[in-house]
Amino acid sequence: MLNTRAAAPSRARPVAPRRTRPAAATATTRPFIVLALMLACAAGLAARLVFWQVLQHPHLSALAAAQHADLTVQAPMRGQIFDAQGNLLATDVTEYLVYAAPWQVKDAYRTASLMAPVLHEDQRQVYQLLTQNDSITLLAPPLNAQSGQQVRNLALPGIILEPVIRRDYPEGSTAAQLLGYADIHLHGQYGLEASYDRLLSGTAGLRSVLKDTAGNTIHVGSLGDTPAQNGADLHLTLDGTVQGLVEDELHKAVLQHHADGGTIIVMDPRTGSVLGMASEPAFNPNRYWKYPYGNLVNPATQWIYEPGSTMKVLTMAAGLDSHVITPQSALDDTGAFRIADVTIRNWCLCAFGMETMTQVLQHSANVGASWVAQRLGVQRFYHYMRLFHVGQPTGIDLPNESPGLLPLPGDKSWSIVNLYTNSFGQGVAITPMRLITSIGAIANHGVMMKPQIVHQIVYGGRIITRRPVIAGRVVSAATAHTLTNMLVHSAVDGEAQMALVPGYNIAAKTGTSNVPDGHGGYLKNVTIGSTVAYAPAFHPRFIALVIINHPRDTIWGSMSAAPVIHNLFQELFMYYHIAPNPSALHP
Amino acid sequence: MRRNIRSIKLRGIDPWIALAFIALLCIGVVMVYSASAVYGYDYYGNPYYIAQREIIWAGLAAVALAVVIQIDYHRLQRLALPFFLIAMAMLAIVLVPHLGHASHGARRWFSLGAGITIEPSEVVKLAAIIYLAAWLAGKGERVRDFQAGFVPFSLIVGMIAVLIVKQPDLGTTIVVTATLFSMFFMAGANGRHLAALLFGSSVVGWTLAHSSSYRFNRLTAFMNPWKDPTGVGYHTVQALLALGSGGLMGVGLGNSIEKHVLPAPYTDSILAVIGEEWGLMGTAVILLLFMVIAYRGMRVAVTAPDMFGRLLAAGVTSWITFQAVLNFAVITSSVPFTGVPLPFISYGGSSLVITVVALGVLLNISRQTNGEGFARRSTHNGRGDGRSRLSRALDHALPSLHAERPAIRVARAGRERTR
């Protein structure tokens, strides 16, 4: 080993040339090694390219799209609501909120002097807002489109204009409970705005704007936009003129009788179309937030009451249709009708003696109605109540309709007394809409129509027209005719005479409802006066229900509600050009 | 050089290199326009702003190429040292504040006014290759010697590397170092010396990477760019998103979205824009074009008439190829991020001209090669030395090349006599 080591240096030199390859070989081999290295690199890079551009393509392109596509929601215009004449009841207006970013404002004095006239604000106040130490500040209440454009044209640095869409109700409180309102987020609340919210809202469009990573819009072609689909326009059956009359008459009556409020519904009994619908107290949907909850709901469909004597129309229809009575059937009204331990008395606590069925209606006799109920019996009475859909919702296109309350045989709260109290409208609670719809069946020759408020829906250029919907045949046409005749006759010189208009046959029935005290009895001196009527009686064009809630000067519906029918019908005859009938019972 | 353009002699140049170059330059002009339109519009109100300058530079480059092809490369051997010294002086001066023009946190440029800047590190690349080729050719067998070969080589490379790294420009440093190493290797350097050099430079590189947070962040970003996609990983992530969005066929010319957010879309990252607009098809074609230059360039190197020519051709080929490979590797996130232009394609004024001049030198060498030697020898050696079947196929497909060569050889013989 030692020897070998010592010898190594001397052996190294002769060995060296052998290790050195010929120069020519090096000159060709080594470039090939370098070239091979380059090609190997290229192969590796090709693999990397395939990896990123083919294998990772779906993932990376999705990431890139997510990075750049900034979806801006294109707000759709909320559908407009029109009455039958095409008057605008609800629409959208674009308003502008004007903000200032004081740190961006260049010349606060100049900015204030230019902005103040447009904003209708004091120049000094604007100046103060512009110079205060705030990141952003609202300068003024929302501006209309014209003022907004003026601000835009000024193009002042630090002034920011933000468009906002607000729901506007040009007619103010007209048909407020019927329409409801759309809140600041344009979500429909109450009324048609709620029940047709999805249709009215439309579909928000998506506009994908390309943004760079700093959030600036990239000005190249945009990617797959879906335009906003504006909401559907609603064309109502509601007649603006009728609605105006209804509201005026209701307002006058509520004032006159110092009532808590009231409801009037006018319908076309032939189609179920609601022509007018108003309730007091109302609200202005443009400023809905200022009103208590109670004003926002629609009493016509959401409030239930014991209908009282107006219910006798249904009792009589059941009696006539099942042939247990005729208009000439007579009873001896002693003023008291005893069942079990309960005695039913007339409203006047008086006895009417011998009276026909027509006279029962004329007197609005509770004893007479109970007598009919007795003749009908439980089975038949409730069979007809079910046919009239009492205790069921009408299915009108308004939200949260109350079905009402009708305890039926078999229910815990039902006893045989209910049969008799129900016959004159007690122990049963229904909505005004239910009552007018059910009685409308008598006006419409025995066929009950489903009430409708929306006549046409216009959506994306398509027009959907609602056809009248039959809710069912309730009584025969003969029964309906007979009962109408009875109602016309009984109104003359009867309780409903104040509802009549000379020269016209009007079928009318008054009602005076007691208000339950919540302890099984009724409040004293608190009543709901109501009258339901349709005219011309045998070829009805309209049916109306007037309800005056807690009139202070009279407890009777014949005094509070019937005169409203009179005023209303007088104007409706003129409006619908209905000529007086020379052979009318009431000259 | 008072000949008019018609008399420029293109006979004998390697057509494959020339065609690949023309293809790359054309792709470059189109893609620089596509990638810079947004920048030009945003900053100069003119989407053609950068593209117009690119066309001027490409024109200048073409003129320079036409001139350089005519200059016998042997003349460079005598100019090598002065050219190298001037370039090194520029490289040193550019680091002096007020003289060098700083941009993007680096001091790499001389501003000549009118927005024209010259990057000395580009000049140094060519100067160093010419000088080293001359120096190594002069050394002959003594390249293998430790004192005569290894030590001076290490000093030259080290000096260049330090000056460029100072700018700081790690990418160019890597390209220059790798090019000079490969020249040293091809000149017949001792394997152990090279191994030591590679080890040494790796250690230096590792130390450098850790010495500056700017570099180390980029290093970690390469490992996992998605960890901080808006910070240090931003450039890598955006480049990958561009590549990945392209898919197989790309989104179409001009449709790149990433060019709006990608840093340096028309310079160092132009490959990402190409990848997005032309897909794998585009990037693969470009990679192939560079490999054509690599293969044909090395072929020129092997068949060059003398050692200087061989090393010069190998150096120029290595430079162009390594720079392209590094650019591809960076864009595909295969190596830590570092900015180098993609030769002939990236916008980059003086850089383009210098690269084209280098290509002109390579083409001039190709006019003087003895093509048969390379082909024959390779055929005898079989495929064991890395020669591909394709190259043989090309030899057969281009008989005209061989037909022209005897004339060149005569011309070369004449020159050699005069020297």
- Are B141 and A45 in contact (CB < 8 Å)? no
> A473 or B8: which carries more pLDDT confidence?
A473
Pairing of strands A336-339, A223-226: unpaired
Structure tokens at A76: 């759709």
Using CB atoms within 10 A of its CB, is residue A502 exposed (0-12), middle (13-18) or buried (19+)? exposed
Indicate yes or no: CB of B244 within 8 angstroms of CB of A213: no
Residues A370, A423: Cα–Cα separation, whole Å: 6
Alpha-carbon gap: A68 to the closest alpha carbon of chain B (Å)? 8
Contacts of A217 in chain B (CB under 8 A): none
Higher local confidence (pLDDT), A344 or A12? A344
Question: In the structure encoding, which two tokens stand for residue B284, read together?
Answer: 């693969």
Cβ within 8 Å of B, A 203-222: 210, 212-213, 218, 220
Query: Given an 8 Å threshold on Cβ–Cβ distance, is B244 in contact with A56?
Result: yes
Whole-number Cα distances in Å, A317 to A83, A427, B201: 34, 19, 110
Q: Which residues of A289-300 are buried (b: 16+ CB within 10 A; e: fewer)?
A: eebeeebbbbbb
Residue ranges of domains in chain A: 73-107+123-229, 240-575
Which residue from B383, B386, B212 is spatially nearest to A37, judged by alpha carbons? B386
Query: In A, which residues are within 8 Å of B195 by CB distance?
Result: none
- In this predicted structure, the answer to whether residue B373 has a pLDDT above a threshold of 50 is no
Enumerate the residues of chain A whose CB falls inside 8 A of the CB of residue B234. Answer: 213
Residues from chain B that touch A29, judged by Cβ atoms under 8 A, are 385
The residue of chain A with its CA nearest to that of B276 is A53
Architecture of domain A73-107+123-229: Alpha-Beta Complex (3.90)
Residue in chain A lying closest to B260 (CA): A212
Nearest CA in chain A to B303: A28
Give pLDDT, residue A339: 84
Query: A50 CB near a chain B CB, below 8 Å?
Result: yes
CB crowding B260-270: b at 16 or more within 10 Å, else e: bbbebbbbbbb
- Per-residue pLDDT for B112 more than 90? no
Confidence of residue A278 (pLDDT cuts 50, 70, 90): very high
pLDDT at B358: 94
Q: Which band of pLDDT confidence, cut at 50, 70 and 90, is reported for residue B26?
A: very high
Q: In this predicted structure, which of B4-8, B288-292, B296-300 has the lowest mean pLDDT? A: B4-8
Q: How far from the centroid of its chain's Cα atoms is residue A500's Cα?
A: 34
Cβ-defined contact of A42 to B291 (cutoff 8 Å): yes
Number of Cβ within 10 Å of residue A549's Cβ equals 25
Give the pLDDT band of residue A135 (cuts 50, 70, 90).
Answer: low
Question: Using CB atoms, which residue from B186, B333, B374 is nearest to A30?
Answer: B186
Q: Which residue has the tokens 């990617």?
A: A223
Looking at the complex, report in whole angstroms how far the Cα of residue A44 sits from the nearest Cα belonging to chain B: 9
Put simply, the answer to whether B188 touches A64 (Cβ < 8 Å) is: no
Distances (CA, A) of A444 to A20, A265, B322: 120, 16, 96
Short-list A310, A71, A64, CA closest to A209:
A71
Mean pLDDT (chain A) is: 85
> A63 CB near a chain B CB, below 8 Å?
yes
- Chain B CB contacts of A54 below 8 Å: 247-248, 280
* Mean per-residue pLDDT, B159-184: 88
Provide the CATH number for the domain formed by A240-575 in this structure: 3.40.710.10
- Pick B222 or A202 by higher pLDDT: A202
- pLDDT higher for A65 or A146? A146
CA distance A214 to chain B (A): 9
Question: Does B274 or A19 have the greater pLDDT score?
Answer: B274
pLDDT of B372 higher than 50: no
> Are A174 and A244 a contacting pair, CB within 8 Å?
yes
Q: What was the pLDDT predicted at A123?
A: 85
Region B116-127: mean pLDDT is 82
- The residues, ordered by sequence, that sit 6+ positions from A496 with a Cβ below 8 Å of its Cβ are A490, A508, A509, A510, A531, A533, A558, A562
CB of A292 within 8 A of CB of A421? no
Residue A347's pLDDT is 83
Q: What is the pLDDT of residues A216-227, one digit of tens each?
A: 665 544 445 667
Secondary structure (DSSP) of B162-183: HHHHTTT-HHHHHHHHHHHHHH
Instruction: Say whether residue A67 is in contact with chain B using an 8 A CB cutoff.
Output: yes
A55 Cβ under 8 Å from any chain B Cβ: no
Asked whether residue B215 carries a pLDDT value surpassing 70, the answer given is: no
CA nearest neighbour of A586 among A483, A482, A485, A493: A493
- The two tokens of residue A144 are 């209309």
Closest CA to A432 of A446, A415, A451, A459: A451
In angstroms, what separates the C-alpha of B8 from chain A's closest C-alpha?
Answer: 30
Report the pLDDT averaged over residues B335-351.
87
Are B334 and A54 within 8 A, CB to CB? no
pLDDT of residue A211: 59
Pair of tokens at residue A154: 């000024």
**Which SS3 state, helix, strand or coil, does residue B106 take?**
strand
Q: How far is B70 from chain A (nearest CA, A)?
A: 26
Per-residue pLDDT at B380? 37
Give the span between the Cα atoms of B263 and B103, in whole angstroms: 14
Choose between A121 and A474: higher pLDDT.
A474
What residues of chain B lie within 8 A of the CB of A223, using their CB?
A: none
The pLDDT, as a whole number, for residue A443 is 93
Q: Is the pLDDT of residue B417 over 50?
A: no
Model pLDDT, residue A477: 93
Average pLDDT over residues B158-185: 88
- Write the pLDDT tens digit of every residue in B275-290: 999 999 999 999 999 9
- What chain A residue is nearest to B327 in terms of C-alpha separation? A45
Asked if A6 is an interface residue toward chain B (Cβ–Cβ < 8 A), one would say no
Count Cβ atoms below 10 Å from residue A478 Cβ, excluding itself.
12
Taking the C-alpha atoms of residue A431 and residue A246, their distance in angstroms, rounded to an integer, is 18
The whole-number pLDDT of residue B412 equals 41
pLDDT of residue A8 exceeding 90, the answer is no
A394-403 exposure pattern, b = at least 16 Cβ within 10 A, e = fewer? bbbbbbebbb
Q: What value does the mean pLDDT take over residues B66-84? A: 91
Domains of chain B by residue range = 5-369, 374-419
Q: Is residue A231 within 8 Å of A201, Cβ to Cβ? A: yes
Are the Cβ atoms of B332 and A52 closer than 8 angstroms? yes
- The answer to whether residue A579 neighbours chain B at the CB level (below 8 Å) is no
Per-residue pLDDT tens over the stretch A554-582: 888 888 889 999 999 999 999 999 988 88
Spatial CA neighbour of B219 closest among A497, B268, B207, B230: B207
B258: closest chain A residue by CA: A64
The secondary structure of residue A207, as a DSSP letter, is E
Alpha carbon distances (Å) from A541 to A249, A444, A462: 19, 10, 30
B222 against B329, higher pLDDT:
B329
For residue B287, the distance in angstroms to the closest alpha carbon of chain A comes to: 7
Q: How far is B56 from chain A (nearest CA, A)?
A: 27
- Please report the number of interchain residue pairs, chain A to chain B, with beta-carbon separation below 8 angstroms: 150
Q: Is residue B136 helix, strand or coil?
A: helix
User: For tokens 């690599």, what's the residue?
Assistant: B294
For chain A positions 513-552, those within 8 Å of chain B (CB to CB) are: none
Mean pLDDT of B112-125: 74
Q: How far apart are CA B338 and CA B336, in angstroms?
A: 6
Percent of chain A at pLDDT above 70? 89
Collapsed DSSP state (helix, strand, coil) of residue A29: helix
Q: Are A158 and A364 in contact (CB under 8 A)?
A: no
| CB–CB contact B332 A33 (8 Å) | no
Bridge partners, A547 (sequence order): A263, A530
| C-alpha pair distances (Å), B418 with each of A309, B9, B303, B307, B415 | 135, 21, 21, 18, 5
pLDDT attached to residue B162: 87
Helix axes B191-211, B170-186, angle to 10 degrees: 180
> Read out DSSP for A78-108?
PPPEE-TT--EEEEEEEEEEEEE-GGG-S-H
pLDDT at A70 over 60: no
- Which among A35, A50, A64 is the nearest to B298, CB-wise? A35
pLDDT at B381: 39
- Is B141 within 8 Å of A20 when comparing Cβ atoms? yes
The pLDDT value given to residue A274: 94
Q: Is the pLDDT of residue B181 over 50?
A: yes
What's the rounded Cα separation, in Å, for the pair B226 and B221?
A: 8
Question: Which uninterrupted H or E stretch holds A223?
Answer: strand A223-226
User: Is pLDDT at A177 greater than 70 in this prediction?
Assistant: yes
Q: Tell me whether the omega of the peptide bond preceding residue A281 falls within 30 degrees of 0, making it cis.
A: yes
Q: What is the pLDDT of residue A210?
A: 60
The two structure tokens encoding residue A179: 């329409």
Question: From CA B416, how far away is CA B386, in angstroms rounded?
Answer: 32
> Which among A23, A38, A212 has the least Cβ separation from residue B325?
A38
Q: Is the peptide bond before A536 cis (omega within 30 degrees of 0)?
A: yes
The Cα–Cα gap between A76 and A325 comes to 60
Q: Which of A26, A46, A54 is facing B188, going by the closest CB pair?
A: A26
Average pLDDT of the segment spanning A321-335: 89
Q: Residues for chain A: how many in total?
A: 587
Q: What is the pLDDT of residue B85?
A: 93
Supply the pLDDT for residue B104: 62
Q: What would the pLDDT profile of A481-502 be if each residue is shown by its tens digit?
A: 999 999 998 888 788 888 888 8
Average pLDDT, chain B: 80
Contacting residues for B179 by C-beta, under 8 A, at least 6 apart: B125, B128, B129, B315, B318, B319, B322
Sheet holding A223-226, edge to edge: A69-74, A205-210, A223-226
| Helix residue spans in B304-348 (DSSP H) | 307-331
Nearest Cβ partner of B386 from A35, A54, A212? A35
Q: So what's the pLDDT on residue A11?
A: 42
CB nearest A32 (choices: B247, B284, B387): B387
Q: Which among A27, A31, A68 is the nearest to B257, CB-wise?
A: A68
A65 to chain B: closest CA residue: B245
pLDDT at B4 over 60: no
> What pLDDT, on a 0 to 100 scale, did the predictor assign at position B394?
45
- Other beta carbons within 10 angstroms of residue A516's beta carbon come to 16
Q: What confidence tier does A524 reach under pLDDT thresholds 50, 70, 90? A: confident
From the list A497, A492, A490, the residue with the least C-alpha distance to A557 is A497
* Residue B314: predicted pLDDT: 94
To probe the interface with B, which of A35, A68, A211, A213 has the most B CB atoms within 10 Å? A35
pLDDT digits (tens, 9 = 90+) for B53-70: 899 999 999 999 999 999
Task: Please report the pLDDT score of residue A272 as a whole number.
Answer: 92
> Does B328 sit within 8 Å of A61, measured CB to CB?
no
Q: Tokens for B16?
A: 């494959």
Higher per-residue confidence, A252 vs A186: A252
- Closest-approach residue (CA) in chain A for B306: A27
A30, pLDDT greater than 50: yes
Better-predicted residue by pLDDT, B153 or B113: B153
What's the one-letter identity of residue A555? I
Q: Which amino acid is located at B2 in the chain? A: R
pLDDT in tens, A294-304: 889 999 999 99
Set of chain A residues whose Cβ sits within 8 Å of the Cβ of B247: 53-54, 57, 61
Return d(Cα A485, Cα A479) in angstroms, integer: 10
Q: Does A141 score more than 50 pLDDT?
A: yes
Residues of A in contact with B295 (CB under 8 A): 35, 39
Inspect the interface and report whether the beta carbons of A42 and B294 lie closer than 8 Å. yes
Which is nearest to A424 in space by CA: A532, A509, A308? A308
Cα B285 to Cα B189, B340, B398, distances in angstroms: 34, 19, 21
**Strand pairing class (A462-465; A454-459):** antiparallel
Distance CA A43, CA A65 (A): 30
- pLDDT score, position B105: 62
**Residue B13: predicted pLDDT:** 87
pLDDT given at position B46: 83
Q: Do A53 and B318 touch (CB under 8 A)?
A: no
Report whether pLDDT(A382) > 90.
yes
Q: Is the pLDDT of residue B102 over 70?
A: no
Confidence of residue B313 (pLDDT cuts 50, 70, 90): very high
Contact A28 B377 (CB under 8 A): yes
